[in-house]
Structure 1
């Protein structure tokens, strides 16, 4: 069972997931990074460029999904160094500090809330420019126009994006477009209309992107064979 709620941390989502048997569901790329708790471990999920199939322990998970671009300031690590990776928090922070934090989360009645408190204590105010960038790309704004609006050159925007999101603005825009399309399709919008409304050339283009980013067809995703329910839909999921 998967549950989530908005966090007190701007743009973040607090979530829990308890597997109920059957095959694990892949987590789709969404531009976010997560702080995770599982079986006594604190981990970080880096930004994905493809669907991630959970492996290892199958116990209950708790997580804090951070708004795109906000995790590097919290973790002290550029996002591109964690791209398509799951790492122990102790690989990023001093081991003694992580042991103390782990003890606090383990003692908490609600580990997900403890993760939220941890981040609230350590986070810095969000970068307004990065949030504007995500908002623009999530609504389908062209990259060059977005760079102009932010007063950045295209190369400068690419460098900032690598640090903040783990990949360039083109990849981020593609991922956010997929999330927009999935949100419409879940609401019953026909695939042809979904493709047109989210900037795909046609339904075949949408189908190719879904296959490349998720490893499944759109029908498989919506039919429950992939993607945990409503998981990691921010910010492009509507």
Structure 2
């Protein structure tokens, strides 16, 4: 069972998941432009920004996580997002084995690991440099459907400058982020019962075929296959 709620850190989400008979744990995690700090059966892990679907090989029984808003995690975690692209790494590799073990034990011993993990993130964020404010604006503008060139102009950056800063903040360039955010918007519409063609149009794709190509490119799945695995009632037309 999966549940989530807004975090006390602005823009972030706290989530939990318990693997059981109704949730075997093999459901793919699709790219979303975000990074996560995850407690999984006593271990602390960092999920980097994905450019393809991720399927856990050996899922844990219990998870708690904080999903950061796009561009928010690098300052808190102390690493460029591009260093973790398409990776799942032990927190020990970033903060040291002793620190990671101590924090993991503290969260494991807590009555509510999700709340304990959220408190850890809040403490780290309070002591960390502020995230790049221009990248937060860029993410918001790309989510709204503006072009990369226009987003760069609006924040006063050249396209190459924007690309370099996007690698640090998001893990990939702004064009990739725009594609991922557009796909997520389309899938949210599909989940709400919107027909594929209409979802494609409303999300900013040229047509349904464009959405289908993006789905295959970024997830390796078809729209119908994804809807079936997620339990949605697909409406192709």
**TM-score (norm. length: structure 2):** 0.92
Q: Which of 45-54 and 19-28 deviates more?
A: 19-28
Q: How far apart, in 2, do the equivalents of 1:23 and 1:154 lie? A: 40
The residue that corresponds to 1:155 in the other structure is: 160
2:120 to 113, 118, 121: 118
In structure 2, the CA distance between the partners of 1:17 and 1:199, relative to structure 1 (3 Å rule), is: same
Q: How far apart, in 1, do the equivalents of 2:164 and 2:48 lie? A: 17
Q: How far apart, in 2, do the equivalents of 1:95 and 1:199 lie? A: 44
Structure 1 runs of 4+ off > 3 angstroms? Answer: 124-127
1:56 to 51, 55, 58: 58
Q: Given that residues 38 and 65 in structure 2 are in contact (C-alpha distance below 8 angstroms), is that contact kept between their aligned partners in structure 1?
A: yes
1:140 and 2:145 equivalent? yes
Q: How far apart, in 2, do the equivalents of 1:194 and 1:159 lie? A: 31
The residue that corresponds to 1:6 in the other structure is: 6
The residue that corresponds to 2:235 in the other structure is: none
1:180 and 2:182 equivalent? no
For structure 2, which runs of at least 5 residues remain unmatched after alignment? 233-237
The residue that corresponds to 1:17 in the other structure is: 17
Q: How far apart, in 1, do the equivalents of 2:78 and 2:48 lie? A: 13
Superposition RMSD on alpha carbons, in Å?
Answer: 1.5
SS at match of 2:122: helix
Q: Given that residues 39 and 65 in structure 2 are in contact (C-alpha distance below 8 angstroms), is that contact kept between their aligned partners in structure 1?
A: yes
The residue that corresponds to 1:67 in the other structure is: 69
Q: Quote how far apart the aligned CAs of 1:106 are.
A: 1.1
Q: How far apart, in 2, do the equivalents of 1:141 and 1:175 lie? A: 14
SS at match of 1:92: helix
The residue that corresponds to 1:232 in the other structure is: none
1:207-218 equivalence runs, <5 A: 207-218=212-223
Q: How far apart, in 2, do the equivalents of 1:100 and 1:195 lie? A: 46
Q: Quote how far apart the aligned CAs of 1:20 are.
A: 2.2
Q: How far apart, in 1, do the equivalents of 2:59 and 2:199 lie? A: 36
Once the two structures are superposed, what CA deviation does each residue of 1:96-118 show, in whole Å capped at 9, x if it has no partner?
Answer: 22122112111111111111101
Q: How far apart, in 2, do the equivalents of 1:199 and 1:67 lie? A: 21
